[in-house]
Structures are given as C-alpha cells and as structure tokens.
Structure 1
C-alpha cells in the first residue's frame, strides 16, 4: 500500500525550520563578536602603561596609568531579551570611574534610553565597598527601597529591565573587586528573588488563560478576558513574547531563577504549547491579538468568506515572516533589533 503523501506545505515548513535552526547556530558559533578588552581599557583610561590580567576565572585586570592604579572588571546579567556585559573601571580609592557596555542585544530604541538619560553617568564615584542599589524599581532585586545610602542609581523609566541588568552586572563585578582588592565582602542584593505587582498580574492572566482550556463556560467571557489581557499585558506589565525572546532562549541567554516574571512569560507560553498542544498565549493573552479581536467585534466586521484553500496558504505567512526575521537577525548579527511578535 502506498504511503500517505505529504502535502507541499509540510515540506515548505520543514525547509523553513531546518534553515532557521542552521542560521541560528551559524550566528552563535561563527559570527559572534570578539571583544578586545585590553583595547577597551586603553580607550577609557588615559595614559595606560601596563595591563595585567588578575588571577582567576573572573575577567578582571589591574591597570597602571599616569602613576595611578585602576581595576577593570567585566560581568554580565540578562536583560529583557539578551545578556548585557558591562566593564566597570574602579580607581585606587575604590570608587567607580566608568561603566562601559561591551556586549548587549537589547531592543535598540529601549537600550538607547540608558545613554540619552545618562544612566551610566550615575555610577561615577560610587563605592565598591557596598552594593550599588537601584532606585525606582520596586519589586526588583537590588531595589533601593528605604535604605539610607547614597550608593545607588535611578532606573530609566521605560527601560527598567535593562537598567536592572546593567546594575546587576556592575554589582557582580564590583563585589569581586571589593573582595580581592579592598578586603571587603558584602551580600549581593541582586541574588534575591524578585516578584513585583506586574509579575503577579501577569501570573493571574496566565492562570485565567489556562482555565479556559478546561472550563468551556469561560468562552462566554472571552471579550472581557481579552480586554483584561490587553490592559494588563499591554499597559501595566508591558511585556509580550517577541522573536528576540525566543532567540535568547535558544542561545541560552536565560536569567537566573530569581527573575520569576521571565519564566512566567516564556515558560508559561511555551509550556502551554508543549503540555496542552494549544497556543493559549495567542488565543487569550497576547495584547496585540486581543486588540485586533476587540476592534473587529466593535466594528462589526463580517467574514470575508475566504475559501479553506486560501486560508491554508495564508497560515504560512506567520512562519515565513518569522523565518525572514531569523535570517535578518543572522545577517545583521543582532537578534535584538528584531522585536517581532511571532505568535
């Protein structure tokens, strides 16, 4: 008996999948940028006469320049969609001279805010002998809260996650320099769990969406659930699943378990698909999809009567656009520029 013949769409999707995975691994293994850290040090410390790598696994250097001693240390933390690496330069008094970002793949428009709003200038003259806290970031690890200290920076509104990642990376580095060079040890506040109101609200939306898979009567409340998702995910939480999030997952740029919100967003979305075989995120959570459906119902648009054959072809548009996004990310060498919503 002749086996069942696969339709062309199946072969097409298989080709997209295989070439996309190949492109991602090519981007990871062969096009990654090599950083000349000693050159970065020379560009940011005037009059360098010697640079000596400090003993240990940490990327840290002792620098002599113009009769003074400096220390340069690199460490990283995961931001909204990428790992952010920061080099912190410390003077011989134990004060931060400068913070330089050596690698990052955040969405450009959001990360640029850190420069335009002078986040990095705030690190100047902060001490490595205590943590650098983050002001205005309630619910995040490292939050200043009511601590009586001047050793803090203020987060950049609209780029809180990236601000937090930079502060965390700097703290990892300064903790190392403090212990190795200034005989000072302190507990890193960024190692604590963070759980804020936005994370709680997002978790509630995911629980309600999960309930719709088992409680069919909730379909009657669909329009209200969509409105809640639109308001909470789009305006309060301000987080959604983008292609760059998936790329960061594939490339293992994953935050620690202390970042519970990230695991709710990404783990919950993919978990629904794997465990239930349903894309619940797209149907019940996505703020863009919710806005489209609510507008469609409010406007009273009627079905266009598109044939099943045409509908079947149109369903190939989403994976095709995602494939194009992956190829562009590989070509540009920066998946962070592709803040594209794949669902």
Structure 2
C-alpha cells in the first residue's frame, strides 16, 4: 500500500508539472505576428487597422493604400479541440478567402475536410446568404460544422459593425435531441450502476454502441482529457455534449469512487465484451498477476501521448485509441491494425484493450481510487478488476514462473504497444 501511495503522489506531481508546462508552452506557441496571419488570407495586405468587435477584426490596405477589405478571426469547437479561422471579406462583403490560423483539431478529421475542398465552397458568399446549405463532410461532420460556425461568427460581425447590415446572432444554447438522449443514457447508467441493476447493463451497453458509438462517434478519448487539463475547452454553446461526456463523467467518477463509464457505457468495451461472450471459441488464460503488471505500464504510454500533445500544442494527436476506426471507419493504418488485433483477441480475452492499453479506463480508475482513499471506503471489486491486492504467498496468481500463455500474452502486448507508438507518429506526420 505504501508503494501504491507513493506512486499516486508521483503521478499527481507529474500531472501538475505537465499542466504548468502546457500553460507556459501554449502561451508562447500561440503568439504570432498579426500582419503575417492576415497575409494568409490577403497576401497583398501591407497595413492593417483594428476594427474592434468581439472577435479580432481588421481593415486591410495594400502598399499603395488601396482599401482591400476586412479580415476577422473567429473560433469554434471541433471534434478534438478549437479551430481559429481567418475570413477575408472584400469591401462589398463577399468572402474571398478562408484559412485556418490555429487549430487543436484531430488531424484525421481536419485533413479529411481540407482534402474535399470544403473551404472553397464558402468563397463568394455574403453573410446575408447564410451557410446552412453547405453540406458537412461525411465522417468529419463536427469539424466541418466548426469551420462554418467560425466563418459565420466573423463574417456576421463584419457585416453588422462595418457594412451596416442587421443579421441576427444565434449565441444561445440550443440542445439537440442527440444531446438530450446522451444525457438520458448517462443518467440511466449512473442510476443502474449505483443501484446494481445488472439486468439492464447489457441493454445500456447495446445502446451505447448504437448511439455513442455509431450515431455520435463520441467515445471518451484520452485527447478529451488532454484538452480538459490543458484548458483547451470547447464552447459550451457549441458542444454541450462534450461537457457531459468529459468533465461530467470525470466529476461523477470522482464523487462516487467508481468507474461506471467503462463498465456501463463504453461502446468499444461493449463490442469486445459482446465478441467474448458470444464467440469464446478457445481458452486463453494468462495469469491475472501478469495482466495486472502489464496494465500498469499503460501509464508510460499515457505520458508519451500527453507529452506529444503538449509539445505539438494539439490535443487531437494524443488519441491513439481505435474507437473512430471501429465506429466511423476513420483512422490511420496503425489504428486499423490495433483494432483488428484487439477484436480478434476478444474471442479469447475479456476486454483485452481495456485491461492492457486503454488510457481512458486508466484515468477513470485512478480518479475513482483517489476518492476511495480520501473517504476510506471499501467498495466491491468489479468483475473486470485486476487481482493485485492479495498478499497471500500461496495465491495461485503469484506462483513464480510464466506459462506459455503468459509469454504469448506479453508478446501480443508488446506488439500492440509498438503499433500504438507508430499511430502517434502518424498522427504527428498528418498535422496540417
């Protein structure tokens, strides 16, 4: 227990240092020369003048003092983080250029949007026309809508404050049926887990696969935690569901001292469990002691992913999980390989990803354990918990030596961890 306490203290200390590093680094990384940013949209700009407004907006002139139009930078919340978009409007109010100035979006989705020529569909429009008829890119809906939202915010500000138009702003929270359904699903899971209504657990997991997995493609990922702890938060108005799924679940886990998300709501965990229970074709049983020790090495991969995200100032690249590949068909080749191995091994191993690799489960278990230690409560060990609390020397899980299955398990884990590192490298290389 003393070793465990010391480890927890070290992890908390490292977390605090990472947060400090994130704040300092992002402060300097985000500093850019205003004129160079404006020239991304209007290369002829030689001089600018602040035009005021909620979003940074500027009047632009060329070297001969000819008035070029306006530039405005507005932000919106994408899937993995914020996007800042520069919109350039000519004196008549038509949009002539749209470019990204900064972003913390998941590279996979952003590149998919840019590859379709989505930004070009916005050009030539007037803010009065609106942007509702521009279809989002399939497989990157949230990213597409975030770019449109940023352009709309900025262009409407220019239209109203500089061009004398009167276009209403829609700044209120408008929860959709998906937001309300997600809230109902999470609340039901909380109640059922608290009251131990296990008969409903299979149905909740099934609904999570359909709704959180396929419809929303909004599984909890490690990049969500990186965004939260580094202060890179999306707008509540634009993405209320993010606040339910990330800080909401984290706070509830800390308050209750139980990781209910992994057991009752995780779509990918549900898929693995479904395969295991329906297609358990052969026996593969590495010792619990080996699985427990391997599971602890998830911290190393977690810190590698966290540091990668902080160094490159992009929370989206920290996501190496195969969730989007499974539910949306979107991911790099390494993530496809990871998913294939995990689902194949789910025939023989119960929740292979959850116990050996998942950073989300690791974080939530850590938060739950903190609460239990603070309140000194003992709770029933979950079915899929690791057996690493027994000090009985005669325990069969502590018999020295490794079986052939233990060795095969270690080889599989090592291979997947190497592929995870490759997935992170591919995320970095795909940054725009």
TM-score band, normalised by shorter chain: 0.7 to 0.9
- Structure 1 residue 68 displacement after superposition: 4.2
1:268 equivalent in structure 2:
248
Residue correspondence of structure 1 range 283-294 to structure 2 within 5 A: 283-294=263-274
For residues 158-210 of structure 1, the C-alpha deviation after alignment (integer angstroms, 9 at most, x for no partner) is 21211222122122211221122111232123x23333343233223212211
Query: Who is 1:145 aligned against?
Result: none
Unaligned runs of 5+ in 2: 322-359, 362-432
Match of 2:208 in 1: 229
Q: Decide whether the 8 Å contact of 2:74 with 2:150 is kept in 1.
A: yes
Q: Which residue number corresponds to residue 161 of structure 1?
A: 142
User: CA separation of 1:276/1:43 partners in 2, compared to 1, >3 Å: closer, same or farther?
Assistant: closer
Residue by residue over 1:49-73, the C-alpha shift from the partner in whole angstroms, topping out at 9 and shown as x without a partner, is: 4222334664221112373421001
| Residues 1:253 and 2:249 aligned together | no
Tell whether the 8 Å contact from 1:80 to 1:106 is kept in structure 2 after alignment: yes
* Residue in 1 that maps onto 2:6: 11
CA distance in 2, matches of 1:134, 1:277: 44
Q: Does 1:316 align with 2:293?
A: no
CA shift, 1:243, in A, is 1.4
CA distance in 1, matches of 2:240, 2:52: 34
Partner of 1:192: 172
- Corresponding residue of 2:19: 24
Paired with 1:108 and 1:319, the residues of 2 have a C-alpha distance of 24
Return the structure number with greater helix share: 2
In the alignment, structure 1 segments of 5+ residues that lack a partner are: 136-152
166-175 or 95-104, which deviates more: 166-175
Cα deviation, 1:292-317, whole Å, max 9, x if unaligned, reads 1111212336672624x545433423
More strand by percentage: 1
The answer to whether the 8 Å contact 1:82/1:336 transfers is yes
8 Å CA contact 1:227, 1:294 repeated in 2: no
Per-residue deviation, 1:114: 1.6
**Matched residue, 1:39:** 36
Q: How do residues 97-246 of structure 1 correspond to structure 2 at under 5 angstroms?
A: 97-128=96-127, 130=128, 132-135=130-133, 153-189=134-170, 191-216=171-196, 218-246=197-225
Equivalent-residue separation in structure 1 for 2:43 and 2:210 (angstroms): 50
CA distance in 2, matches of 1:210, 1:55: 46
C-alpha RMSD of the superposition: 2.4
**Higher mean displacement: 164-173 or 281-290:** 164-173
Structure 2 counterpart SS, 1:229:
helix
Question: What SS does the aligned partner of 2:303 have?
Answer: helix
Whole-Å separation in 2 of the counterparts to 1:215 and 1:197: 27
TM-score by length of 2: 0.67
TM-score with structure 1 length normalisation?
A: 0.83
| Partner SS, residue 9 of structure 2 | helix
State the SS of the aligned residue for 2:73.
Answer: strand
